[in-house]
Structure 1
Amino acid sequence: MGCFSIKCGLLAGSVFGAVIAILGGILIPVGDMIIERTVKKEAVIEPGTTAYDNWASSEIAVYRQFWLFDVKNPQQVVQEGAFPEVQEKGPYTYKTRYLPKANVTFNPNNTASFVLPMGAIFEPSMSVGPEEDTVTTLNLAVAGIHIFPSQWVVSYDMVINSTNSSLFQHRTVKELLWGYNDPILKDTIGLFSPYNGTSDGPYNIFTGKDDISKVSIIDRWRGETKLSFWNDTYCDMINGTDGSSFAPFVDKDVPLYFFSSDICRSVSASYEATMNLKGIEVYRYSLLPSTLASPVDNPDNKCFCRNYETTKNCTLAGALDISSCSDGRPVFISLPHFLQGSEYLREVVLGLHPDEEHHKTFLDVEPITGFTLNFAKRIQANMMYGPAKDITVLNKVKDYTLLPLAWLNETATLDDKTADMFKRELISRIDMLEIVQQVLLIAGVIIFFVCLIAFFCVRRKSKTNLG
């Protein structure tokens, strides 16, 4: 005989609720597995995937803002050996990395090769003035005399005097950044010369097709698996990606490693905070002070110290000597205004005001995909000058001085169109799956307990009536 009583209906409702709750519970690991499989598939760098579309695209604008340091007291520095006093001028903004990757080749060993074409277009609307603005800055051809052999010094002093040159010079923004014809060297020199028409690489990166944990990791740069700048196994390591993306499912307890050709070395960034970027949750990673710490505080940095005399026996923090990868020129890289650097660096150059918020380097990484959706790379170019008793314009200089020339802020962020697409294609789908999971689980539990409680209430009432 069939069961059509209220008790049977409530019991069936309890069973139905339990089934729904179990289904919701099963969907949690199943749904997570589906999400993981889909993300890993789309994170592989090969035609047809989301990762490839982002990797190959040049639609997201990358800008470089430059602030140049104008020396206010050049005469006192040369004639009296005074500390230089500087004032920054900027920003002068250029659109860079607007050219797509070139010579893209997919290799049988699951790597992809390419080069990054370099170019810069001045953006007047995003700048404080034209490229023709002038600054008083270090004479690049004179500042490096202290590294010359002693037998060259006297003849070099004659050249300096014959060309009416000094330790400082007046140059336009365009000249200092991109190059000018130097009267002493009879060659074109500049902080980033040559730039337009050149390229970075070639790079060889893993596509992640055989192992998604290796996706975007650099296999080779300029055909080599390691650098040749530091003469040390540790410092010459090429670690991580180029910073534009990382393996999916980022663990914020694990540092991210990336290589920057601008500073000729690999660095790591650590989790700082969880941020909201246009409705998308991202992890912010920033460089630790140990990155540019002196070998006294971070022994791992000992192999980055090149000159014991100019770096106070390698006790100075906050500056990286990259002369070995800049044709021997005494160029040092630091964070802007010597942020996280030794106090001494700011004591011998007046007018510097480091600010953590405006001068630190950071990456905002979406943790599910590993894509970098926003970043600010902030570095400062400095040049060392020092005493030289046989050089007229340097014989009053008292000590080696690291003088800031310019600092840059290279940025790119997710535009609204891409953010909406990202949320629609990934975040909304994950959210919808999680909502379905939660609704089934909660609804099933509620139905189960409501029907079960009602069943016992009806059963108890029936017993009472029979009694």
Structure 2
Amino acid sequence: MFSGAKDMEHYGIFDRYNMRERLPHWTTDECNSIAGSDGSIFPPHITKNDTLMVYDKDLCRLLPLRFLQEVESKAGVQGYRFTPPEDVFAADEHNKCFCPAGPPCAPHGLFNVSLCQYDSPIMLSFPHFYLADESLRAAVEGISPPVPEKHRLYIDVQPEMGIAMRARARIQINLAVSQVVDIKQVANFPDIVFPILWFEEGINELPEQVSSLLRLATRVPPVARSALGWGLSALGLLLILLAVTCLIRSSHRQSTLRLEGHAVAKAPPAKTPGKENGYELNNRR
């Protein structure tokens, strides 16, 4: 995992996982990439337009997360909530690389993990088939419609620091059951994706001490920057006024000296008419 010592843009991103730089399961380098976070820390200065990438070892793939809404922790720290997009498990072109065996691939809303889970017929989804095809839920009796607030996966991140404040990972494990005509007892069973269980793990709030430090780290710098900006502006204005005052006083002093110099100056003494070159001239008649 990158520590951010050389590049903070990759802070908290996996470099290797189990000594591997890439996964061996899928058909393209992009789908085999592990260049994501573990979900606890992300590169700083996150915006609402960013897509956060989290590597999920159970899914054996990167899970994209996109901005959902602004949130606030109990400690008063502002954050952004990120959640997987609606097409994250869509049966479309951008997920084609996760179906190396070719069609038929997993239905919309399901992810086939058999290749990375010892070839077991397991498909993962969100609880109650949230974001999945309606036919999957209709095929099973007794399963209620999904509620986004209860069944959505999300991570709340403090955007400036890139620290996860609150998170909920919710995944449902499903068993893909295929019709077996050779076994009389199940010969009439249709192909079905049967939900086994769903689980939830995460964190509600950071410890109070950590929340206090995070609140301090996010609130003090903006106030300090604002105060420093106003302080420097006031200092600059004061220096300009001081410089103008000094120039005015200097100009006034020079003008006074010039006037006094004209007033004190005297004309040189006139020569004595009766003397010229040190000799007295006699008047001749």
- State TM-score, norm by structure 2: 0.76
Tell me which residue corresponds to 2:155. 363
Q: 1:292 aligns with which of 74, 78, 89?
A: 89
1:416: Cα distance to partner? 2.3
Q: 2:134 aligns with which of 326, 331, 343?
A: 343
Given the superposition, is the C-alpha separation of residues 254 and 237 from structure 1 closer, same or farther in structure 2, using an over 3 Å criterion? same
Q: Name the CA distance, whole Å, in 2 between partners of 1:441 and 1:285.
A: 38
SS of 1:430's partner is helix
Q: Does 1:409 align with 2:200?
A: yes
Q: Name the CA distance, whole Å, in 2 between partners of 1:389 and 1:339.
A: 31
| Cα distance per residue 1:84-142 (max 9 Å; x no partner) | xxxxxxxxxxxxxxxxxxxxxxxxxxxxxxxxxxxxxxxxxxxxxxxxxxxxxxxxxxx
SS of 2:115's partner is helix
Tell me which residue corresponds to 1:304. 98
Tell me which residue corresponds to 1:193. none
Which AA in structure 1 matches 2:34?
I
Q: Does 1:252 align with 2:252?
A: no
1:441: Cα distance to partner? 7.9
Tell me which residue corresponds to 1:324. 115
Q: 2:35 aligns with which of 234, 239, 246?
A: 239
Tell me which residue corresponds to 1:209. 5
Q: Name the CA distance, whole Å, in 1 between partners of 2:137 and 2:219.
A: 49
Q: Name the CA distance, whole Å, in 2 between partners of 1:387 and 1:314.
A: 17
Q: 2:105 aligns with which of 310, 314, 320?
A: 314
Higher RCO (C-alpha under 8 Å, 6+ residues apart): 1
- State TM-score, norm by structure 1: 0.47
SS of 2:198's partner is strand
Tell me which residue corresponds to 1:136. none
Tell me which residue corresponds to 1:276. 72
| Cα distance per residue 1:299-331 (max 9 Å; x no partner) | 11012235667xxx3372100000011111100
Q: Which has the higher strand share?
A: 1
Given that 1:319 and 1:333 are in contact with CA atoms closer than 8 Å, whether structure 2 keeps it comes out as yes
Number of equivalenced pairs: 235
1:440: Cα distance to partner? 4.1
1:256: Cα distance to partner? 0.8
Given that 1:386 and 1:394 are in contact with CA atoms closer than 8 Å, whether structure 2 keeps it comes out as no
Q: Name the CA distance, whole Å, in 1 between partners of 2:120 and 2:87.
A: 25
Tell me which residue corresponds to 1:62. none
Tell me which residue corresponds to 2:282. none
Tell me which residue corresponds to 1:229. 25
1:333: Cα distance to partner? 0.6
Same amino acid, percent of matched pairs = 26
| Cα distance per residue 1:198-254 (max 9 Å; x no partner) | xxxxxxx11111111111111111111111122333321223211211111112212
What are the ranges of 5 or more consecutive residues in structure 2 without an aligned counterpart? Answer: 242-285
Given that 1:384 and 1:403 are in contact with CA atoms closer than 8 Å, whether structure 2 keeps it comes out as yes
Tell me which residue corresponds to 1:390. 182
1:258: Cα distance to partner? 1.6
1:23-422 aligned within 5 A: 205-277=1-73, 278-295=75-92, 299-305=93-99, 313-314=104-105, 316-352=107-143, 353-397=145-189, 399-412=190-203, 413-422=205-214
1:416-435 aligned within 5 A: 416-424=208-216, 426-434=217-225
Which AA in structure 1 matches 2:48?
K
1:434: Cα distance to partner? 4.1
Which AA in structure 2 matches 1:319?
L
Given that 1:383 and 1:402 are in contact with CA atoms closer than 8 Å, whether structure 2 keeps it comes out as yes
Say what the alpha-carbon RMSD is for the aligned residues: 2.4
SS of 1:244's partner is coil
Q: Name the CA distance, whole Å, in 2 between partners of 1:211 and 1:432.
A: 27
Q: Name the CA distance, whole Å, in 2 between partners of 1:233 and 1:435.
A: 46
| Cα distance per residue 1:259-314 (max 9 Å; x no partner) | 1101111121111111111211111111001111112xxx11012235667xxx33
1:394: Cα distance to partner? 1.6
